[in-house]
Amino acid sequence: MTLAESPSLLVAGIGEMVLSSSPHDHLVAYGLGSCIALAVWDPRAKIGGLAHFMLPSGPANNGSPVKFIDAGIDTFLHALESKGAVLTRSTLKAAGAAAMLTVGSGLAIGKRNAEAMQAALTERGLNLTATALGGNTGRTVQLEVADGRFLIKSLSSVTEL
């Protein structure tokens, strides 16, 4: 298994989200450290979305609509629904939230991100179907719109979640 390198690669940078209903598209978030990527895929509508959240909370930011979990989760979920995804039948997978900084116990951003994501989804009646959260190494993730496969590259390996 390898991550795609193709013209149909849609990249979610920090604070960004990408959505697609094209089976040829690969949605990618590079270099997740303490950030969290949330992948949502509706198997019936064949719609996928990937959001790259940076921090658990903060003000709404139109330039980076999903920079903060608390301010951006609804933006992401509503965008998916507006494309035709039904969240209750979708798979939700998350990766990231690594402990990248060890400068003090107050900077556990990865852990705080994981907790904020879980709380935000629970509040909306949604559950993660799979996760690769925590640890202390960075990850790159890719959602295959055609079949909902969620690939995670860490160091020298690629696994499917």
Q: What is the pLDDT of residues 9-19, one digit of tens each?
A: 999 999 999 99
**Beta partners for 159?**
152
CB atoms near residue 44 (< 10 Å): 10
CATH class of 9-148: alpha beta
Question: How do residues 35-88 score in pLDDT, each as one tens digit?
Answer: 999 999 999 999 999 999 999 999 887 789 999 999 999 999 999 999 999 999
Indicate whether 89 pLDDT > 80: yes
Q: What is the pLDDT of residue 105?
A: 55
Residue-level pLDDT at 85: 98
Q: Chain-wide mean pLDDT for the chain?
A: 91
- State the average pLDDT over residues 138-145: 96
Query: In which band, very low, low, confident or very high, does the pLDDT at 24 lie, cut at 50, 70 and 90?
Result: very high
Residue 35 a catalytic site member = yes
**44: three-class secondary structure by DSSP:** coil
**Residue 141 DSSP label:** E
Question: Taking the domains of the chain in order of start, what are their residue ranges?
Answer: 9-148
What's residue 5's pLDDT? 57
* Catalytic-role residue among 10, 17, 29, 35: 35
What per-residue confidence (pLDDT) applies to 158? 82
Q: pLDDT over 70 for what percent of the chain?
A: 91
Question: Rounded to two decimals, what is the model's pTM?
Answer: 0.92
Helix, coil or strand: residue 75? helix
CB 139 within 8 A of CB 153: yes
